[in-house]
């Protein structure tokens, strides 16, 4: 099922494969033997039923996320990235196929999962101060005050916001608001963190800082992160792996291993030759997807 | 529109030429350099001016039109009215009429708020309940509460509970409908966020639904206050033996014209005090909302 290639300079390692699915012969992402993956997505399909007829947003997605991995999902706009994320988060029910977390089927938002949304201004409670926002999920879970305080302090410290706990979110800049949302997710101590284009609405300089923040939080916590983005550079810079989605109806077009050194640096990494090779490759694939290239058609030939 | 435009330009020009120039030539005496205490005092004086200016003008007009020329039996002079006001409303009437009226008003408002918010939260959150109740609510809302008074008199008698019921039957609607609307217009991302963090049941109502609907709920309460006051008076005009509405009608029927006017003034004062208390509470409850709006408007 998996067809790994040996790494040579300039070539890109595709870890995906081809599988026979209910939807025909289709390219899939890297999968692991049963029971080993933390998060499993199997033959996931999503069809929206509208008055104007059915819309097939996602055709078939199959991939695994091992414990502690940082994977980026990238695809052309309208490729059903958010739909996929909402299905994984248990906010939407897939039309077919399933999502499992630790072998248990996801039917509603799982306890060990946190989501950071793109719209930071709409995901923080405007009637609560920064600290209360971060604390609320813990309070709701019935955690005692001392433990809560410690987690909240650490989380705010980790995102560099220890100095504004008494502010309201809307008094902060966009980048800082997104930091609050990240702090809230961090304090919640999830095993899987889903991020839906979290930096799409912040300016470029802030975005670079936040990217490094995500890397550092990921390393510190050992959490698995699934990071959805439309930004190709961001996906290559952040991930250990980039899953490229086709245009809608979505399938996995390619699952690329990002074999960049573990220590990433905005200047060094981004100017390295390997970075530009990988970036080049992902860019080409996205361009193909935009032109309507269908991986399953290529397989049929 | 077009007539205003040429007027605006010269005003702006004089401001631009005179305003900053004068303050630059005399920086030490500019009001900005005053101590914070003096500044606050000046602000208070200014605030007082804006509150008092219009009432003073209205009283002046009233004074001129009543004191000058022939006496009018139906319109007392300001001096007579003030005198009558204190004579009428400082004695026993406080306990026999004012307090009972205010108590009914308070129970009516409290009842409307509780029923309106609880009902609104339920109807707004449960889809089938909304589909079930909405046409019926439109029907009941359209009925003027005053026509219910005879019906309610037959059903629950002529006591205080009838009067409270009349107040609720009218004051309930703005709160109920606004709460439903506030719950329905919940931000989807915020709802998703709450859902992913496993915040459900009562905590969802407490931390998400209620605060998020609060701006609309407060707008509903504001409308309900004046409706409640009106209905308090009207309910006391039917089959009552005490209360402001009852007393004012008594004065009117016995041609005690200055006394009647003094009752009307008292109703106005109650309205002003209610609105003042409401604003004080609203400013505290919705501090976040006003701050957020200010920032959004500035951006």
What is the band of B23 on the pLDDT scale with cuts at 50, 70, 90?
very low
Q: Which residues of chain A make contact with B196, given a CB cutoff of 8 A?
A: 89-91, 109, 113-115
Residue B193 and residue A113: Cβ atoms within 8 Å? no
Q: Which regions in chain A score pLDDT beneath 70? A: 1-10, 301
Distance of residue A134 Cα from the nearest chain B Cα, in angstroms: 11
What is the band of B11 on the pLDDT scale with cuts at 50, 70, 90?
very low
Q: Which residues does residue A114 pair with via DSSP β-bridges, in sequence order?
A: A193
Q: Which residues of chain A make contact with B292, given a CB cutoff of 8 A?
A: 126, 168, 170
A123 closest CB neighbour out of B190, B212, B289: B190
Residue B288 and residue A127: Cβ atoms within 8 Å? yes
pLDDT for res B66: 84
Residue A127 and residue B214: Cβ atoms within 8 Å? yes
The CA distance from B185 to A166, in Å, is 28
A25 touches chain B (CB under 8 A): no
B196 closest CB neighbour out of A115, A128, A171: A115
Residue A127 and residue B211: Cβ atoms within 8 Å? yes
Q: Please spell the DSSP secondary structure of B10-41, one letter per residue.
A: HHHHHHHHHHHHHHHH--TTSGGGS-HHHHHH
Helix (H, G, I), strand (E, B) or coil at B270: helix
Residue B30 has pLDDT above 70, yes or no: no
pLDDT for res A204: 85
pLDDT for res A4: 43
Q: What is the pLDDT of residues B255-266, one digit of tens each?
A: 999 999 999 999
Q: Which of A127, A148, A177 has the highest number of chain B CBs within 10 A, making it the mutation to test binding with B?
A: A127
Residue B13 has pLDDT above 80, yes or no: no
Residue B195 and residue A168: Cβ atoms within 8 Å? no
Mean pLDDT, chain B, whole residue set: 85
Residue B18 has pLDDT above 70, yes or no: no
Q: Which residues of chain A make contact with B198, given a CB cutoff of 8 A?
A: 109, 111, 137, 140-141
Q: Which residues does residue A21 pair with via DSSP β-bridges, in sequence order?
A: A24
pLDDT for res B29: 44
pLDDT for res B3: 38
Q: Which of B36-45, B164-173, B229-238, B267-276 has the lowest mean pLDDT?
A: B36-45
Residue B205 has pLDDT above 90, yes or no: yes
pLDDT for res A9: 56
The CA distance from A127 to B287, in Å, is 8
The percent of residues above 90 in pLDDT, for chain B, comes to 56
Name the nearest CA neighbour of A42 among A21, A11, A56, A13.
Answer: A21
**Does ipTM surpass 0.90 in this model?**
no
pLDDT for res A76: 86
| Size of chain B, expressed as the number of residues it contains | 299
Distance of residue B36 Cα from the nearest chain A Cα, in angstroms: 25
Contact between A14 and A256 (Cβ < 8 Å)? yes
pLDDT for res B24: 39
The pTM of this model reads 0.82
Residue B12 has pLDDT above 90, yes or no: no
Distance of residue A117 Cα from the nearest chain B Cα, in angstroms: 8
Q: Which residues of chain B make contact with A140, given a CB cutoff of 8 A?
A: 197-199, 203, 207
Distance of CA B191 to the CA centre of its chain: 31
A123 touches chain B (CB under 8 A): yes
pLDDT for res A249: 87
The chain B residue lying nearest A110, using CA atoms, is B196
Phi and psi of A27, rounded to 5°?
A: -75, 140
pLDDT for res A178: 92
Mean pLDDT of B237-262: 90
Residue B38 has pLDDT above 90, yes or no: no
The CA distance from A32 to A29, in Å, is 10
Name the nearest CA neighbour of A85 among A49, A58, A66.
Answer: A58
Buried b (16+ CB within 10 A) or exposed e, B54-79: eeeeeeeeeeeebeeeeeeeeebbee
B288 closest CB neighbour out of A109, A126, A140: A126
pLDDT for res B9: 36
pLDDT for res B76: 87
């Amino acid at each position: 099922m998996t067809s790994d290639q040996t790494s040579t300079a300039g070539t890109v390692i595709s870890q995906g494969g081809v599988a026979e699915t209910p939807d025909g012969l289709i390219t899939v992402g890297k999968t692991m033997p049963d029971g080993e993956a933390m998060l499993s997505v199997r033959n996931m399909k999503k069809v929206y039923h509208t008055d104007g007829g059915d819309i097939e947003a996602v055709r078939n997605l199959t991939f695994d996320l091992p414990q502690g991995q940082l994977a980026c999902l990238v695809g052309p706009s309208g490729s059903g990235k958010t739909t996929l994320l909402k299905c994984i988060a248990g906010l939407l029910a897939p039309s077919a196929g399933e999502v499992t977390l630790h072998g248990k089927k996801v039917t509603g938002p799982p306890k060990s999962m946190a989501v950071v949304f793109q719209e930071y201004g709409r995901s923080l409670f405007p009637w609560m101060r920064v600290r209360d926002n971060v604390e609320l999920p813990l309070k709701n879970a019935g955690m005692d005050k001392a433990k809560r305080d410690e987690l909240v302090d650490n989380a705010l410290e980790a995102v560099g916001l220890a100095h504004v706990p008494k502010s309201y979110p809307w008094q902060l800049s966009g980048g800082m608001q997104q930091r609050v949302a990240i702090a809230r997710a961090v304090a919640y101590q999830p095993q899987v963190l889903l991020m839906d284009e979290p930096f799409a609405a912040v300016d470029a300089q802030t975005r670079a800082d936040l990217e490094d923040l995500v890397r550092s939080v990921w390393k510190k916590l050992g959490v698995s992160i699934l990071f959805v983005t439309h930004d190709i550079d961001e996906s290559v810079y952040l991930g250990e792996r980039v899953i490229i989605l086709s245009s809608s109806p979505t399938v996995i077009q390619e699952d690329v291993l990002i074999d960049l050194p573990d220590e990433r640096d905005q200047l060094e990494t981004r100017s390295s030759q390997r970075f530009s090779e990988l970036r080049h490759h992902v860019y080409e694939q996205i361009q193909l997807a935009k032109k309507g290239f269908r991986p399953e058609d290529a397989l049929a030939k | 529109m077009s007539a205003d435009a040429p007027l605006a330009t010269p005003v702006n020009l004089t401001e631009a030429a005179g305003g900053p120039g004068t303050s630059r030539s005399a920086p030490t005496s500019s009001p900005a350099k005053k101590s914070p205490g003096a500044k606050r005092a000046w602000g208070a004086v200014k605030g007082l001016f804006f509150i008092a200016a219009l009432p003073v003008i209205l009283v002046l007009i009233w004074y001129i039109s009543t004191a000058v020329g022939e006496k009018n039996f139906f319109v007392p002079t300001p001096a007579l009215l003030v005198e009558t006001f204190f004579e009428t409303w400082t004695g026993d009437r406080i306990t026999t009429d004012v307090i009972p009226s205010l108590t009914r008003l308070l129970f009516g408002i409290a009842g409307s708020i509780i029923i309106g918010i609880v009902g609104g939260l339920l109807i707004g959150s449960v889809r089938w309940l909304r589909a079930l109740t909405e046409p019926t609510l439109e029907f009941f809302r359209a009925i003027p509460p005053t026509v219910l008074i005879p019906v309610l008199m037959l059903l629950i008698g002529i006591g205080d509970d009838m009067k409270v019921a009349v107040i609720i039957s009218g004051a309930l609607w703005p709160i109920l409908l606004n709460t439903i609307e506030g719950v329905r217009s919940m931000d989807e991302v915020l709802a998703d966020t709450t859902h992913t963090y496993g915040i459900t049941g009562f905590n969802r109502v407490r931390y998400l639904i209620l605060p998020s609907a609060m701006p609309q709920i407060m707008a509903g309460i504001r409308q309900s206050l004046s409706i409640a006051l009106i209905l308090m008076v009207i309910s006391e005009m039917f089959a009552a033996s005490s209360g402001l509405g009852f007393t004012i009608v008594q004065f009117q029927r016995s041609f005690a014209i200055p006394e009647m006017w003094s009752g009307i003034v008292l109703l106005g004062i109650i309205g002003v005090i209610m609105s003042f208390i409401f604003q004080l509470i609203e400013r505290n409850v919705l501090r976040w909302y006003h701050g957020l709006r200010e920032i959004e408007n500035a951006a």
